[in-house]
Structure 1
Amino acid sequence: MSDLDSMNREIKKRQLRRQIVPSPAPQEEDSEEIVRKARKRVKLKRLRIFLIIGVILIAVGIGLFQYFRYYQYTGYDVVWEKEMKEGSFVGYMDFGGNVLKYSKDGASYIDNQGKEIWVQSFEMKSPTACVSGNYAAVADQQGNSIYIFDKSGPTGTATTLLPIIKATISAHGVVAAVLEDSTSNYIYFYKNDGNVLDVKIKALLNGETGYPVDISLSPDGTQLIGAYAYLKNGALNGRVAFHNFAEIGKSVPDRVVGGFDEPYESSLVARVHFLDDTYSCAFADNSVSFYSTKNALSPELLKQVVVEEEIRSVFYSDKYVGIIVNNTDGENPDRMNVYNPDGTLVFSEAFHYQYTQADIDGEHVILYNEDSCRVYNMSGRLKFEGTFDFPVSKIRNGRFPNTLLVTGPQNMKEIRLQ
């Protein structure tokens, strides 16, 4: 029995051994595969972190955008204040990121903290200023002198034989001036050192072009847009003409590469302006026209906005064109329309405010009078309305999004909106 039991036990042991399936020996991973997977995990972790930071930044950006777009400031405090020498003060103009102050006895360049960078003395009876890029000019209307400046100071003085009627300057310092004698008008051109260029346009009221009412040089100085008045069937009509002073314009009389009469039948064009080297605009008594000289030999009228109401003011920058007209609908007596350079409407807003000046600075429209101002953004929303305790001559954006530079004949202040 014992032998039989031993045999049975041995058989059972063998059966158990057959039922046991040995586990395969663990295989070692290749070291390069381990490194690759580790790097992949690190990259995924970094990607998640970047995505989280990106979402946070986008949320903050949207929040700031909404804040600056919709928030209306109700007060201000003065960041700094500086007294200005009044003299025979005439006006201020934005120039090279700062301010050009001009008067009958001189001009000065003032930075955005009220410091005079340079001063130029002269004597003029009726000074008028023009600016383009980093160049500016002050001309004596009905006089014979034009002072030309860049941001570092005077670059030259042009002296004319005939009285000056109008002047415009390019971003390279080339000056075009309308001069008048007893029988005709001329457009002369000057270098930034004041020397006369060998280019001249003669203009007569009953001539082919007409009498020059206003002119504007393109920033690069190669194009000029002119507003002209001419006689047709005994009536005075308006005309817009384009002159080209590059090589391609030499082949045409007076370098006129384009003229537009039909849009201004029975109306006069009072002002023209080059916004940049391609886009320009013309303001008539009943319309605003938008032009393109993308094809330099064939200027194009992109759009003419007919204005049935009385145009009270026009203003512009290198990016926007604005007009203020009498409002015939609703309680507010005025309406402000702002356009892109191609004539598309940016916004239209009715308002009630006794302004004397209207400017565009960056993304803001600034309306102001001698002791108050209103600031609108390019959505037409009122961002700030305030009054001041000193005379105001010019208001522009300050160094930061919530600051303004408020300048008068005797004071300059930077205010922080609250």
Structure 2
Amino acid sequence: MAEETKSARTIWRGLVRIGIGLLLFLVLLSLYHGRKQYHAYAVINQQDVSQGSLVGYEPFQQGYLKYSKDGVSYISEKNDTYWTSSFEMKDPVIDVNGSYAVIADRSGNTLQIFDEKHGKIGECRTERTLDSASISLSGVVATLEEDSSASYIQFYKKDGSVLDITVKALLEGDGYFTALDLSDDGSQVIAGVAYLEGGKLAGKIVVYDFSDSGGSGREDQMKGGITPYEGENLISEVRYFRNGRAFAASTRGLCFFQVGKNGIEKGWKLAEKQEVIRSLCFDRNYVAIVLNEAEAQDNKPYRVELYNNGGDKVMHANFSEHYTSSFVDRGTVFLIGSDALTVFLQNGTKQFSGAVDFPLVRAARLSGENRYLWLGAAHIKEVRLK
């Protein structure tokens, strides 16, 4: 009996050693792939798509919203179409939150609202000119609108009907709205405001909370704000992350902060930049910027920086590749050129830099080692780096 117990222990120890060895092997393999650089790829799957007047792709639930000036389609990664909706817009801009999406005609008056199951569920024609729109997890929409004398924040139900929540801003008064984003529960808005100070435009961030408004929102719902940078600057983007965290992009840099019911809480963090910010991209967890490198070395005139939702810089790297658009997806930064792609991982590795055989519009990570989805006007390709 003792010999059988000893034998069982020996077998068990052997299995543990094999398990540990296998785990170490997988860790080393992951580290190897996480540091390796690639310049070629193999196409695993390819689907052809109609070009039309394609504007872009936006991640949405189990796939993507492919939108153009003529309409929008909800498609899978394999280009299977779940639903399609038609419209005519000169400059469509999109916002997605959970199972809802809104598309607004920037500089126009058309607004359409969609959900995952049914496609279009709401539509309206605004009285004022649209600039942007943001949607909550419940389908409530907040828009940034303007007329000849003022800018406005206006709320809409998910069927497109107008809610009695409007905030008006005058440049000659407290300022002029330049950006907005709606909280997930639809009760709060953060906004960028431009105002005159000493004859120059300055920027600040304000918060409006409508949770106790009883269905009617007015300027007394403003919960204060902050002026992150003294002197001339402009707030070009504001965005909620998860759990009340948010950021704002200024012409002077980035500002990260926590938003509560009483407004912006203490402890906000700045990432001021002296260099020119060439581009900005973000998702619900990360923000990436590309700057002109002030002291370029090794013929690398650009620098990419990645920040988490707490405002910590988690990656920076210099590069020389030219690009026209940028995206961030789960900590991976994509820099897309007319016929090329550069991919930076969160650890700073330039995982891919090379030519692509069709014009890309967007790229995204897939599960598995070195697998990506490349989306263009003519093709959608699943690829593996090699």
Same fold (TM over 0.5): yes
TM-aligned CA distance change 1:298 to 1:357, over 3 Å: closer
CA distance in 2 between counterparts of 1:245 and 1:38 reads 74
Contact 2:129 2:146 in 1 (8 A): yes
CA distance in 2 between counterparts of 1:207 and 1:166 reads 22
TM-aligned CA distance change 1:189 to 1:50, over 3 Å: farther
Match of 1:116 among 81, 84, 89: 81
Matched, 1:68 2:36: no
Counterpart mapping for 1:248-267 below 5 A = 253-261=219-227, 263-267=229-233
Counterpart mapping for 1:132-147 below 5 A = 132-147=97-112
Q: How far did residue 361 of structure 1 move?
A: 0.9
Q: How far did residue 182 of structure 1 move?
A: 2.0
Counterpart mapping for 1:33-182 below 5 A = 48=13, 51-152=16-117, 153-182=119-148
Counterpart mapping for 1:340-351 below 5 A = 340-351=308-319
Q: Deviations over 1:166-209 (max 9, x none)?
A: 2112232221111212221211111222222221111111223x
Match of 2:363 in 1: 395
Q: How far did residue 407 of structure 1 move?
A: 1.7
Matched, 1:273 2:239: yes
Q: Which has the larger radius of gyration?
A: 1
Deviates more, 1:165-174 or 1:278-287: 165-174
CA distance in 2 between counterparts of 1:40 and 1:187 reads 75
Match of 2:168 among 186, 189, 202: 202
Counterpart mapping for 1:300-315 below 5 A = 300-315=266-281
Q: How far did residue 393 of structure 1 move?
A: 1.4
**Amino acid paired to 1:148:** I
More strand by share: 2
CA distance in 1 between counterparts of 2:151 and 2:217 reads 23
DSSP-derived class of the 1:300 partner: coil
Match of 1:31 in 2: none
Contact 2:167 2:217 in 1 (8 A): no
Match of 2:323 in 1: 355
Of structures 1 and 2, the one scoring higher in RCO (CA 8 A, sep 6+) is: 2
CA distance in 2 between counterparts of 1:268 and 1:197 reads 29
CA distance in 2 between counterparts of 1:270 and 1:84 reads 33
CA distance in 2 between counterparts of 1:176 and 1:287 reads 25
Q: How far did residue 338 of structure 1 move?
A: 1.0
Contact 2:112 2:123 in 1 (8 A): yes
CA RMSD of aligned residues (A): 2.5
DSSP-derived class of the 2:229 partner: helix
Contact 1:129 1:139 in 2 (8 A): yes
Match of 1:14 in 2: none
Q: How far did residue 50 of structure 1 move?
A: 6.0
Contact 1:359 1:365 in 2 (8 A): yes
Match of 1:24 in 2: none
DSSP-derived class of the 2:16 partner: helix
Match of 1:369 among 314, 337, 346: 337
Contact 1:112 1:398 in 2 (8 A): no
Deviates more, 1:289-298 or 1:146-155: 289-298
With the length of structure 1 as denominator, give the TM-score of the two structures.
0.84
CA distance in 1 between counterparts of 2:364 and 2:311 reads 25
Match of 1:211 in 2: 176
DSSP-derived class of the 1:247 partner: coil
TM-aligned CA distance change 1:44 to 1:236, over 3 Å: same
Q: How far did residue 49 of structure 1 move?
A: 5.6
DSSP-derived class of the 2:177 partner: strand
CA distance in 1 between counterparts of 2:87 and 2:94 reads 14
> Structure 1 vs Structure 2: percent identity of aligned residues?
34
CA distance in 2 between counterparts of 1:365 and 1:371 reads 17
Match of 2:350 in 1: 382
**Amino acid paired to 2:167:** I
Contact 1:264 1:284 in 2 (8 A): no
Contact 1:215 1:224 in 2 (8 A): yes
DSSP-derived class of the 2:360 partner: coil
Counterpart mapping for 1:16-35 below 5 A = none
**Amino acid paired to 1:396:** A
CA distance in 2 between counterparts of 1:196 and 1:46 reads 71
CA distance in 2 between counterparts of 1:43 and 1:157 reads 70
Q: Is there any run of 5+ residues in structure 2 with no aligned partner, and where? A: none
Contact 2:365 2:373 in 1 (8 A): yes
Contact 2:169 2:177 in 1 (8 A): yes
Q: How far did residue 265 of structure 1 move?
A: 2.5
Match of 1:332 in 2: 300
CA distance in 2 between counterparts of 1:156 and 1:345 reads 40
More helix by share: 1
TM-aligned CA distance change 1:189 to 1:42, over 3 Å: farther
**Amino acid paired to 2:351:** K
Matched, 1:229 2:194: yes
With the length of structure 2 as denominator, give the TM-score of the two structures.
0.91
DSSP-derived class of the 2:23 partner: helix
CA distance in 2 between counterparts of 1:252 and 1:126 reads 30
CA distance in 2 between counterparts of 1:252 and 1:297 reads 16
**Amino acid paired to 2:128:** L
Contact 1:218 1:277 in 2 (8 A): no
